Amino acid sequence: MEIKYWNKEIEKISREELDKLQLERLQKTVGQALKTEYYGSRLPAAGINSAADIKSLADLRRLPFTTKINLREAYPFGMLAVPKSEVVRMHASSGTTGKPTTIYLTADDLARSTDITTRSVVATGAGSDDVFQNMMTYGLFTGGIVLHYGVENLGAMVIPASSGNTARQFQLMKDFNTTIIHATPSYMLYLYSRMDDFGIKPSDLNLKKAFVGAEPHSEDVRKKIEKLWGIDVYNSYGLSEMNGPGLAFECQYKDCMHVWEDAYIMEIIDPETLEPVPDGEEGELVLTILVRDAMPLIRYRTRDLTRIIPGECKCGRTHRRLARMKGRSDDMLIINGVNVFPSQIEEVVMRMKEIGTNYLIVVQKAGPLDKLIVKVELTREILTDDTRDLYALKARIAESLKASIFINPIVELHEPGALPVSEGKAKRVMDERRD
CB 288 within 8 A of CB 60: yes
d(CA 236, CA 253): 14
Q: Are 404 and 344 in contact (CB under 8 A)?
A: yes
Segment lying near Zn ion (by CB under 5 A), choices 4-12, 159-167, 206-214, 243-251: 243-251
Q: What residues are paired with 79 via a beta bridge? A: none
Find the binder of ligand AMP among 95, 125, 213, 246 (CB under 6 A).
213
Nearer Cβ to ligand AMP (303/375) = 303
HSE, side-chain direction, 13 A CA sphere, residue 381: 4
Angle at 318 between CA 155 and CA 133, to 5 degrees: 30
Residue 239 within binding range of ligand AMP, rule CB under 6 A: yes
Cβ at position 314, least distance to Zn ion in Å: 6
What amino acid occupies position 326? Answer: K
CA–CA separation, 390 and 386 (whole Å): 7
* Binding flags for Zn ion, 286-315, as an x/- string (CB under 5 A): ---------------------------x-x
C-alpha 113/C-alpha 264 separation (Å) is 11
DSSP assignment of 118-149: HHHHHHTT--TT-EEEE-SPPSSSHHHHHHHH
Quickly list DSSP for 376-411: EEEPHHHHTS-HHHHHHHHHHHHHHHHHHHSS-PEE
* Number of alpha carbons in the 13 Å side-chain half-sphere of residue 239: 22
The item of ligand AMP, Zn ion, none sharing an interface with residue 313, based on CB under 5 to 8 Å by kind, is Zn ion
- As measured in angstroms, the least distance from the Cβ of 216 to ligand AMP is 4
Tally of CA atoms within 13 A in the half-sphere of 346 that contains its CB: 12
Give the one entry of ligand AMP, Zn ion, none that residue 325 binds, where binding means its C-beta sits below a cut-off of 5 to 8 angstroms depending on kind: ligand AMP
Of these, 27, 120, 163, 302, which contacts ligand AMP (CB under 6 A)?
302
Partner whose binding site includes residue 251, from ligand AMP, Zn ion, none (CB under 5 to 8 Å by kind)? Zn ion
Among residues 251, 256, 289, 372, which is the contact residue for Zn ion, using CB under 5 A? Answer: 251
**Smallest distance, Zn ion to C-beta of residue 258, A:** 6
What is the sign, positive or negative, of the torsion defined by CA atoms of 137, 302, 249, 10? positive
In the complex, what is the shortest distance from the CB of residue 240 to ligand AMP, in angstroms, rounded to a whole number? 4
DSSP state of 369: E
> Hey, is 103 helix, strand or coil?
strand
Question: By CB under 6 A, what part of segment 99-158 binds ligand AMP?
Answer: 142
DSSP string for 21-44: HHHHHHHHHHHHHTTSHHHHHHHH
Q: How far apart are CA 82 and CA 101, in angstroms?
A: 18
Cis peptide before 76 (omega within 30 of 0): yes
C-beta of 237: minimal distance to ligand AMP in Å? 4
Give the total of residues touching ligand AMP (CB under 6 A).
19
- Residue with smaller CB distance to ligand AMP, 27 or 329: 329
Interface pattern 260-299 for ligand AMP (x via CB under 6 A): ----------------------------------------
How many residues line the site for Zn ion (CB under 5 A)?
Answer: 4
Residue 261 CB, shortest distance to Zn ion, in Å, is 13
User: Read out DSSP for 278-315?
Assistant: -TTS-EEEEEEESS-SSS---SEEEEEEE-EE-S--TT
Of 39-47, 61-69, 114-122, 233-241, which segment contacts ligand AMP by CB under 6 A? Answer: 233-241
Query: Which one, 185 or 409, has the nearer CB to ligand AMP?
Result: 185
Q: Which amino acid, one-letter code, is at 384?
A: T
- CB closer to ligand AMP out of 209 and 375: 209
Q: How far is the CB of 344 from Zn ion (least distance, A)?
A: 38
Binding mask 18-57 for ligand AMP (x = CB under 6 A): ----------------------------------------
216 counts as binding ligand AMP under rule CB under 6 A: yes
For Zn ion, the binding residues (CB under 5 A) are 251, 313, 315, 317
Binding-site ranges for ligand AMP (CB under 6 A): 93, 142, 213-216, 235-240, 244, 302, 304, 325, 328, 334, 339
